Amino acid sequence: MAEKLIKEMGLPKSMANVFAARNIPTAQEALALTEFELMQLLDVGMAEVSSALARISEIACPPYQTALSLMEQRMQKEDHAGHLPTGLKGLDEALCGGIPFGVLTELVGPAGIGKTQICMKLALLASLPTAYGGLNGHVIYIDVESKFSSKRMIEIGVQGFPDIFNMRGMAQEMAGRILVLRPTSLSKFTESLQQIKDSLLRQEVKLVVIDSMTAVISGSYGLSSDRLLSRDYGQGAPRQNLLAIGDALFCSSDIALSLFLSFYSRSLAEISRIPIVVTNQVRSQTRDEGCQYSFQVQSTEDPAGYDSHLVAALGINWAHSVTIRLVLEAKSGQRFIKLAKSPMSPPVAFPFKITAAGISLLNDYGRELKGAEINRIHSHGHGDVINFDGKGCGGDQWGRPA
Amino acid sequence: MEVGRLPISASHRAKLISAGYTTLSSLSSLSPSYLARELNITDSEALEILKVASLNSRLDRTDGGQAIVNGAQTAWDMLHEEQLLPRITTSCADLDNILGGGINCKEVTEIGGVPGIGKTQLGIQLAVNVQIPVDLGGMGGKAVYIDTEGSFMVERALQIAEASVLDMSEYNDLLHKENRACQMKLKPNDILESIYYFRICSYTEQMAVINYLDKFISEHKDVKLVIIDSVTFHFRQDFEDLALRTRLLGGMALKLMNLAKTYNLAVVIFNQVTTKYMDGSFQLALALGDSWSHSCTNRVILYWNGDERYAYIDKSPSLRSASAPFSVTTKGIRNSASNYKRIRMM
């Protein structure tokens, strides 16, 4: 709406001409100026400028909806009332039915915890027919780290949905709906976003997965994500070094993030409402990182507590932009999926395991979390978690043996 | 006062000055037609200039002892008015306490906090609470919800509305123990129907919606609360020109302040958090910079204190700085969990 031309807004002819003559073609330019600047620039009086601005604002402003009509619209028009069910009962209940459409959902966790497994499961779910709890649509899977395994995905399908996948030709059709993109640079990634936008317009795509966002950003800076974020820097490296890396990451990430976020907000809100799932890596928390306001008394937190705690690799600006954050962690030999940020549920944690059929919760009763526990990411002990049930999943991708 | 400061178009100003009219007093005794001839403009334009000039010269005249200045109010009157103003409860008694009874009308309140602290929850809660009927001590107003991040969840709004209706009918029963006929009329769906929701996708749209609110609210006079969740999102993403950002934000704050004063409503804006290098260490601070921090009347920061959520009054002309715990429950914002047994999920 911001790009709408001023001359098509029904202003008085003379006024519209003045705007055009002064090279203010759209609302975007007009609203970036104050009334006085406009009076100077257009050489007209206060009253004319105010009425013109009021008109431009009215047209450029998107129409309102009442919350009730919004709800009715979602109930009637969208599959599963605007949610992609994850098939994990407890989590679906906490999320009011699954991963919501139209918002950014993030998976954070240490390497090997099962982020990619969940992504593949969700991709598969979205491609299933509606009767089986899916969205019956295409999926775009941006696989930045080259970790997508179609073999594993089919296995999840065969184990999890034997009725569909044992039908002749169905496996091919389901897998055929998942389009995997492997951008190698930031410019390629941007290109992919543009392509997605086009296919969103054709209303075919029902889910976008980006695995992982961190790799997009650190990759753009020319350093491999492993090196940049590796925990090796944690203890040994001098602090300056660490800070410099932090800064570099911050600068490059800012550009890439704002690029992605403006894409996300436009396409989701204006073109079509679909769920977007992205993954985020972890890094160790540096001592210098602010976690308190200036008015708070400096707490003397146990310094030993730091090295076992990880934080999400992308910083606070990014964290504000995601609507739902799911943290995957391992603690004393058990994996947990935590609903760390969500506008509809208190923070809860569910124990889970990775199985041949994807991922399953050990129980559906979430344990409520409080305080700092919500955002802490534990990774100790997950190296020796062995979640094999021995049925043909020998790889180390989803249940890495020690 | 000089002609150069009159709100008239640049060419008119130039004509006035080149014809020798530099002060307002030089314009005071002129007739429109004379001025029109003098400046070679139309009669109506001349009339317009004289109108603006006479208005400004009246404002300018401060002599004459107890002159009644246009638009001013004595402090005594303001006190009376403030005492009459209802406040919007947050549904958390401790939080209401430090806010002096709730969110104040005629003021712009900024609320900031780290991701996941409950900003959006508080926003939805306020949008519901502004609708508490007058006979139950509320305002019986409607809410405008401007969503820049897409984080408004109708499911959650319905949950909070249902819990609120339940609480209200309980309270109603207490009030009218003997009079059972007095039934609650408000339904959760009515509450949702009175939340006007705008989904904003760029900063231009954000500027536009704030300009348009003036007209919108004059058509919907019962709107008593405007929520912007969050003011930061678009201004944090696509901006390189920081001077432009400061200017736009300043203009926006001014417009919101005007809106609050003119229509006697509360404006609540949410802000995000950033890290700032202060006194040799990184600390959390609200985003958008120092000049923005001047633009709101009240500023509340939500933060984690150990295992509990706290709110802190960071800035206010009338409230003392204090902090209070609150919690986010399935029913919405409530008193801190330590005060009673926590309701378990499911």
Per residue in B175-190, pLDDT (tens digit) is 776 555 455 677 889 9
Q: Cβ–Cβ contacts within 10 Å for residue B270, how many?
A: 24
Q: Do B205 and A1 touch (CB under 8 A)?
A: yes
Contact between A250 and A181 (Cβ < 8 Å) = no
Digit-coded pLDDT (tens) for A28-53: 888 888 888 888 888 888 888 889 98
Average pLDDT over residues B186-208: 89
**Band of pLDDT at residue B63, cut at 50, 70 and 90:** very low
Please give the pLDDT value at position B161.
Answer: 92
Please give the pLDDT value at position A223.
Answer: 41
Contact between B183 and B147 (Cβ < 8 Å) = no
Q: Dihedral sign, CA of B118, B120, B121, B125?
A: positive
What gap in Å lies between CA B164 and CA B209, rounded to an integer? 29
Please give the pLDDT value at position B123.
Answer: 94
Cβ-nearest to B244 among A32, A71, A344 = A32
Average pLDDT over residues A241-267: 56
Assigned architecture for domain B76-339: 3-Layer(aba) Sandwich (3.40)
What gap in Å lies between CA A107 and CA A281, rounded to an integer? 9
**Band of pLDDT at residue A247, cut at 50, 70 and 90:** very low
**Band of pLDDT at residue A216, cut at 50, 70 and 90:** confident
CATH code of the region A78-378:
3.40.50.300
Q: Where are the domains of chain B?
A: 3-60, 76-339
Instruction: Indicate whether B66 pLDDT > 70.
Output: no
Chain B: residue whose CA lies nearest to A298? B283
Domains B3-60 and B76-339 share a fold: no
CA B27 vs CA A108, A285, B18: distances in Å: 69, 69, 14
**Band of pLDDT at residue B260, cut at 50, 70 and 90:** very high
Chain B interface disruption, residue of A22, A101, A247, A344, most B CBs within 10 A? A344
Q: Is A369 exposed, middle or buried (0-12, 13-18, 19+ CB in 10 A)?
A: buried
Average pLDDT over residues B73-93: 83
Residue B117: half-sphere exposure toward Cβ, Cα within 13 Å: 26
DSSP-derived letter for residue A132 is: G
B39 and A CB contact within 8 Å: no
Q: What is the mean pLDDT of chain B?
A: 83
Instruction: Please tell me the least confidently modeled range out of A262-276, A287-301, A366-380, B199-213.
Output: A287-301
Place of tokens 């609200």: B286
DSSP collapsed to 3 states, B299-322: EEEEEEECCEEEEEEEECCCCCCC
Alpha carbon of A56: minimum distance to chain B alpha carbons (Å): 8
Chain B interface disruption, residue of A14, A61, A261, A280, most B CBs within 10 A? A61
Alpha carbon of A283: minimum distance to chain B alpha carbons (Å): 17
Please give the pLDDT value at position B179.
Answer: 56
Q: Name every chain B residue with its beta carbon within 8 A of the beta carbon of A100.
A: 153
Digit-coded pLDDT (tens) for A312-360: 887 787 888 888 999 998 888 889 999 988 888 778 899 998 888 888 8
| pLDDT: which is higher, B346 or A161 | A161
B187 and A CB contact within 8 Å: no
Digit-coded pLDDT (tens) for B275-307: 877 777 778 888 888 888 888 889 999 988 888
3-state helix, strand, coil in chain B (%, to 5): 45, 20, 35
- Structure token pair of residue B86: 């209802």
- Structure token pair of residue B343: 């309701």
What gap in Å lies between CA B328 and CA B316, rounded to an integer? 24
Please give the pLDDT value at position A350.
Answer: 92
Chain B: residue whose CA lies nearest to A373? B307
Chain A interface disruption, residue of B50, B194, B212, B255, most A CBs within 10 A? B212
Alpha carbon of B228: minimum distance to chain A alpha carbons (Å): 14
Average pLDDT over residues A369-383: 71
Q: Helix A35-42 and helix A46-60: axis angle, to 10°?
A: 110
Instruction: Indicate whether A280 pLDDT > 80.
Output: yes
Q: Name every chain B residue with its beta carbon within 8 A of the beta carbon of A5.
A: none
Q: Name every chain B residue with its beta carbon within 8 A of the beta carbon of A348.
A: 345
Instruction: Indicate whether A307 pLDDT > 60.
Output: no
Digit-coded pLDDT (tens) for A117-137: 999 999 999 988 888 888 888
A40 and B CB contact within 8 Å: yes
What gap in Å lies between CA B150 and CA A251, rounded to an integer? 25
- Structure token pair of residue A264: 């996300």
Question: H/E element holding A91?
Answer: helix A89-94
Q: Name every chain B residue with its beta carbon within 8 A of the beta carbon of A317.
A: 236, 272, 274
Q: How many helices (H) and strands (E) does chain B have?
A: 13, 13
Please give the pLDDT value at position A394.
Answer: 39
Average pLDDT over residues B324-333: 88
CA B25 vs CA A338, B38, B50, B51, B64: distances in Å: 72, 16, 11, 13, 17
Q: How many helices (H) and strands (E) does chain A have?
A: 16, 16
Contact between A112 and A330 (Cβ < 8 Å) = no
A273 and B CB contact within 8 Å: no
What gap in Å lies between CA B312 and CA A296, rounded to an integer? 10
Rg of the Cα atoms in chain B: 25
What gap in Å lies between CA A71 and CA A24, rounded to an integer? 38
Instruction: Indicate whether A245 pLDDT > 70.
Output: no
Which CATH topology does B3-60 take? DNA polymerase; domain 1 (1.10.150)
Q: Name every chain A residue with its beta carbon within 8 A of the beta carbon of B283.
A: 290, 292-294
B30 and A CB contact within 8 Å: no
Alpha carbon of B81: minimum distance to chain A alpha carbons (Å): 31
A341 and B CB contact within 8 Å: yes
DSSP collapsed to 3 states, A274-336: CCEEEEECEEECCCCCCCCECCCCCCCCCHHHCCCEEEECCCHHHHHHCCEEEEEEEECCEEE
Cβ-nearest to A262 among B11, B145, B238 = B238
**Band of pLDDT at residue B225, cut at 50, 70 and 90:** very high
What gap in Å lies between CA A321 and CA A253, rounded to an integer? 14
Contact between A318 and B149 (Cβ < 8 Å) = no
Show the CA angle centred on residue A266, arms to residues B225 and A147, nearest 5°. Answer: 125
What gap in Å lies between CA B141 and CA B221, rounded to an integer? 9
What gap in Å lies between CA A38 and CA B45, rounded to an integer? 19
Chain A: residue whose CA lies nearest to B286? A293
What gap in Å lies between CA A163 and CA A156, rounded to an integer? 13
Chain A: residue whose CA lies nearest to B124? A343
Contact between B266 and B105 (Cβ < 8 Å) = yes
Alpha carbon of B261: minimum distance to chain A alpha carbons (Å): 19
Please give the pLDDT value at position B346.
Answer: 32
User: Which candidate, A223, A221, A197, A225, places its Cα nearest to that of A211?
Assistant: A225
Cα A124 to chain centroid distance, Å, stands at: 18
Rg of the Cα atoms in chain A: 24
Please give the pLDDT value at position A287.
Answer: 58
Place of tokens 């999102």: B233
Q: Name every chain B residue with its beta carbon within 8 A of the beta carbon of A69.
A: 193
Q: Name every chain A residue with its beta carbon within 8 A of the beta carbon of B337.
A: 370
Instruction: Please tell me the least confidently modeled range out of A60-64, A242-246, B192-196.
Output: A242-246
What gap in Å lies between CA A50 and CA A54, rounded to an integer? 6
Average pLDDT over residues A364-373: 78
- Structure token pair of residue A137: 């649509």
Q: Do A368 and B342 touch (CB under 8 A)?
A: yes
B307 and A CB contact within 8 Å: yes
* Percent of chain B predicted with pLDDT > 70: 90
Average pLDDT over residues A302-320: 67
Average pLDDT over residues B95-119: 90
* Percent of chain A predicted with pLDDT > 70: 75
Please give the pLDDT value at position B178.
Answer: 55
B342 and A CB contact within 8 Å: yes
Please give the pLDDT value at position A119.
Answer: 93
CA B132 vs CA A376, B76, B103, B138: distances in Å: 38, 30, 14, 5
Give the total residue count for chain B. Answer: 346
**Band of pLDDT at residue B340, cut at 50, 70 and 90:** very low
Please give the pLDDT value at position B81.
Answer: 78
Instruction: Indicate whether B86 pLDDT > 90.
Output: no
A–B: how many Cβ contacts below 8 A? 241
Average pLDDT over residues B224-236: 89
Please give the pLDDT value at position A204.
Answer: 76
3-state helix, strand, coil in chain A (%, to 5): 45, 20, 35
Residues 6 or more apart in contact with residue B332 via CB below 8 angstroms:
B91, B121, B124, B125, B128, B159, B160, B163, B164
Q: Is B33 exposed, middle or buried (0-12, 13-18, 19+ CB in 10 A)?
A: exposed
Q: Do A61 and B208 touch (CB under 8 A)?
A: yes
Cβ-nearest to B156 among A104, A266, A343 = A343
Q: Do A96 and B238 touch (CB under 8 A)?
A: no
Contact between A351 and A335 (Cβ < 8 Å) = yes
What gap in Å lies between CA A208 and CA A139, rounded to an integer? 6
Q: Dihedral sign, CA of A111, A114, A115, A120?
A: positive
Q: Is the ipTM of this complex over 0.85?
A: no
Q: Where are the domains of chain A?
A: 6-60, 78-378
DSSP β-ladder status, A178-181 and A138-143? parallel
Longest dimension (CA), chain A: 80
Digit-coded pLDDT (tens) for A260-273: 776 676 666 556 78
A348 and B CB contact within 8 Å: yes
Q: Cβ–Cβ contacts within 10 Å for residue A268, how many?
A: 22
| pLDDT: which is higher, A323 or A241 | A323
Average pLDDT over residues A70-93: 86
